[in-house]
A and B are shown apart, each in its own frame.
With several copies, the nearest count.
Chain A
Amino acid sequence: MSQQLAEDDRAESIRMIRDSAAAIAPPGGDLKRVRALRFKTPGFDPAVWAEMGALGWTGLRVPEELGGSGLGMGEFCALAEALGAGLAPEPLVPCMLSAMLLSAAATHPTTLIGSGEAGEALAAMLTGEAMVLTAWQERANTLEAPGTPGAARLFLPMAGGATHFLVPVREAAGLALYIQPAAGADLTLEATQDGGSFGTLRPAGGVKILDQCAAVLEQALGEAALGTAATLLGVMDRAFAITLDYLKTRTQFGRPIGAFQSLQHRAADLAMEVALTRASVEAAAASLDAAAPNRGAAIARAKARASDSAMLVTRQAIQLHGGIGYTDEHDIGLYLRRAMVLASLFGGAALHRRAFMTLAPESGDE
């Protein structure tokens, strides 16, 4: 009975998160804001970023004693999905990763020189003043952070708007974590298809805030992968909804094109992809929140499914729109572009399939 009550509370808290997301990404809202921010630096709106802080989103997963809400991945995924549906460009998922690292640094029992800096940066991010990105990636197609000293760190989303970078560095004692301010950093930007950018950072200096960050980074990367899967769920779900609308209203040969059976069956196929992705993402979030032993495999499954299905759904969304879908002025193309960027972020489908193989060794009889 009390378990049932807890479940009901949980469902209610997720419903509230979804409702609050409408403040920034209203269902059916237009994408003028998104278009206006495209292909400009920093690619997102600092005022909206501050609002996200004020709404408690940046600290959603941060422990309450550090000023966050201490909520679970169920809540975070619901939020990420809603923001994905609205194509919000603000980099909430990568910053959630940084927030988890900063939380670990701020509460670490060993007093390091930098634990104060960690707390300050975290507090500033929770109010939306700061935007902290973690510069962990040294090559494409990996979820491993070797922390090679001096190596360039790649694929930092929306890095033009960052205020600080967290940089894991391999030292004799283990993987340490440094914080360096973005001002004066050696950072180059490349535009991405969705109108944002990837930054490449050549790290230098900074203050050490953790001696050993390997375990917490690994966990946070998994959570970021799942958060990205949830974002992709939102992207594909909304792209599919827009496409369904189009099928019902666009006429050819005297009928709405959605009356043609071949398109009906294709729509049914896409609906099944969305349903499977939703089930997979929600199951992974639940297994993370329950600290279930198979949570690593569940995350791998959710991100693999979300990456493949989001590409399938958004590609087909273009196809089903016909010529108009190929214009930049129609919003449906924005969904494809976002999916193209997110599908491989924090690991693409192939990488997560390999991870699943390792994390979920086949059992003779389950």
Chain B
Amino acid sequence: MNAVTDAAPEDMNLLSDHDFRLVVRRFIEANYPAEIRNPPKRLHWSENKPWYMTLSRQGWLAPGWPREHGGMALSPLKQIIMIEEMERYGAARTNDMGIVMIGPLLLKYGTPEQKATFLPAIIAGEHVWCQGYSEPNAGSDLASLRTEAVLEGDTYVVNGQKTWTTLGSDANWIFLLVRTDKAVKKQEGISFLLVPMDSPGITVRPIVNLDLHDEFCEVFFDNVRVPASNLVGEPNKGWTMAKALLGFERIHLGSPKQSAHALQRLAQLAERMGVSEEPQFQDRFTRLRMDLEDLKALYETYVERLRRGEGLPPSVSMLKVIQSELYQKITDALLDVAAENAGLLEPMEGNRDLHPSGIFIAARPSTIYGGSNEIQRNIIAKNVLDLPG
């Protein structure tokens, strides 16, 4: 703990945006472990737990939660500033499913017992959560999921398979969307269930991705017995609750930081390859820079809405599409500039900043996950432009 952050008030909303930013920045600089700055891949719990616990001790783990549950109760804008400062320093994302998904869900729909059981365990780093939404045949079409939970007395019996479970092998709890009524139409009949990962009948299989990293898992459920008290909210209302969770987080998918980072790497690589002064490179680089600046300007208009306390309109989908496609345009340029080095598996010359193929592959999922860009364009067409179904 350094002096500046000790001096910060308990309610950080009382600080001006500028002061708040400085306080956060200094804390990060003073406390973030240097060896995990800008990690090229998503970190496992064993790697990011120390930072998680540092934030926990500081009381900064849950910026959006109410203060009585150990949160900071920050305004949306200050939450954004906090994320910006984390990204600026290259602080890794922690195993934050408990913070960003389960916490808000229980605060809104949980019983007093559920809140008392689960929220402190998240703040203490005792419960590490993972998400069980996607299934092999329910990707973009989430409502068609098939993992089912049948009530036997006061116990649900769960059978099925989840996939794309981020850091599933690190978690000791999973939250599930399960089908509890097959007679109704597919968005209905879905419930929300909390399940310990050590329940008999659960098998976790890591999936190795194109980046040769095991960020995701498949999770199999074979007659897994879950107490009915682990149901959140009403039965068959899981879909509605899950959708309600997708609120202001959507703006993060459009944060220009990813593209900004890639563009810096492009400048470095061009320098190293000796093409920085070539007119063709300069033209391409200038276009990308201008695209990035325009994205930032558009992003600012949404941050401004938050600043004014307004909600985010469906057009925020545009940010996600523009950012992810710009990110990929930049990584395309990285490969071109790298020439033969684009084929190397590892960073050039052992320098992690010169790893064109790594960034290129890391950029692949950005147009697939978080609602594929095809789905986002459907949303823009229908919910923003009001085009017919």
Contact = CB atoms under 8 A, between A and B. Distances in A.
A and B in direct contact, judged by CB atoms within 8 A: yes
Nearest to A347: B339
A150 interface: no
Contacts of A190: 344-346
Contacts of B248: none
Given A272-B321, A326-B364, A340-B342, A353 B387 contact: no
Nearest to A281: B297
A336 interface: yes
Interface stretch (B2-10, B107-115, B207-215, B234-242): B207-215
B290 A353 contact: yes
A185 interface: no
Contacts of A325: 364, 368
Contacts of B372: 319, 322
Mostly, the A contact residues are helix
B346 A343 contact: no
A311 interface: yes
Contacts of B282: 357
B4 to A, nearest CB: 23
Nearest to B378: A264
A220 to B, nearest CB: 18
A261 B378 contact: yes
Contacts of A282: 297, 301
Interface stretch (B22-30, B60-68, B133-141, B188-196): B133-141
Interface string B300-340: 11000000000000010010011000001000100110111
Nearest to A259: B388
B284 to A, nearest CB: 10
B345 A193 contact: yes
B293 interface: yes
A344 B385 contact: no
B307 to A, nearest CB: 10
B147 to A, nearest CB: 16
Residue of A323, A340, A345, A360 ringed by the most chain B CB atoms within 10 A:
A323
On chain A, which size bracket covers the interface? Answer: 35 or more
A353 B378 contact: no
A39 B336 CA distance: 24
Given A279-B294, A340-B357, A311 B318 contact: no
A2 interface: no
Interface in B352-375: 357, 360-361, 364-365, 367-369, 372, 374
A301 B339 CA distance: 17
A187 interface: no
Nearest to A276: B294
Residue of B139, B163, B295 ringed by the most chain A CB atoms within 10 A:
B139
B369 A323 contact: yes
A304 to B, nearest CB: 6
B287 A353 contact: yes
Contacts of B385: 244, 264, 267-268, 271
Contacts of B267: 362, 364
Residue of B293, B315, B372, B378 ringed by the most chain A CB atoms within 10 A:
B293
B183 to A, nearest CB: 18
Contacts of A342: 343
Given A272-B321, A311-B335, A356-B286, A301 B340 contact: no
Contacts of B318: 268, 271-272, 275
Contacts of B378: 261, 264-265
A279 B340 contact: no
A345 B283 contact: no
B101 interface: no
Given A322-B140, A345-B343, A350-B280, A259 B207 contact: no
A365 B264 contact: yes
B221 interface: no
A305 B386 CA distance: 25
Interface stretch (A26-34, A161-169, A245-253): A245-253
Contacts of A193: 343-345, 357, 361
B164 interface: yes
A318 B315 contact: no
A214 to B, nearest CB: 22
Residue of B216, B293, B340, B389 ringed by the most chain A CB atoms within 10 A:
B340
A251 B137 contact: yes
A67 to B, nearest CB: 32
A284 B210 CA distance: 34
Given A140-B273, A318-B364, A326-B209, A271 B289 contact: no
B77 interface: no
A140 B339 contact: yes
Interface in A109-166: 137, 140-141, 154-155
A333 B294 contact: no
Contacts of B374: 260, 262-263, 265
A107 interface: no
B300 A283 contact: yes
Contacts of B164: 323
A189 B134 CA distance: 40
Given A258-B387, A264-B378, A311-B335, A326 B365 contact: yes
A140 B322 contact: no
Contacts of B121: none
Given A141-B340, A282-B301, A323-B163, 11 more contacts: A191-B346, A268-B381, A271-B380, A272-B380, A275-B318, A276-B295, A304-B290, A318-B364, A323-B365, A327-B216, A357-B282
Q: Which 5 A-B pairs have the closest CB atoms?
A: A264-B381, A341-B343, A141-B339, A279-B298, A268-B380
Interface of A: 39, 137, 140-141, 154-155, 190-194, 198, 244, 247-248, 251-256, 258-265, 267-269, 271-272, 275-277, 279-280, 282-283, 297, 301, 304-305, 311, 315, 318-319, 322-329, 333, 336-337, 340-345, 348-351, 353, 356-357, 360, 362, 364-366
13 contacts: A141-B340, A190-B346, A256-B388, A259-B387, A259-B389, A267-B381, A271-B380, A301-B293, A301-B294, A315-B364, A328-B212, A344-B335, A362-B267
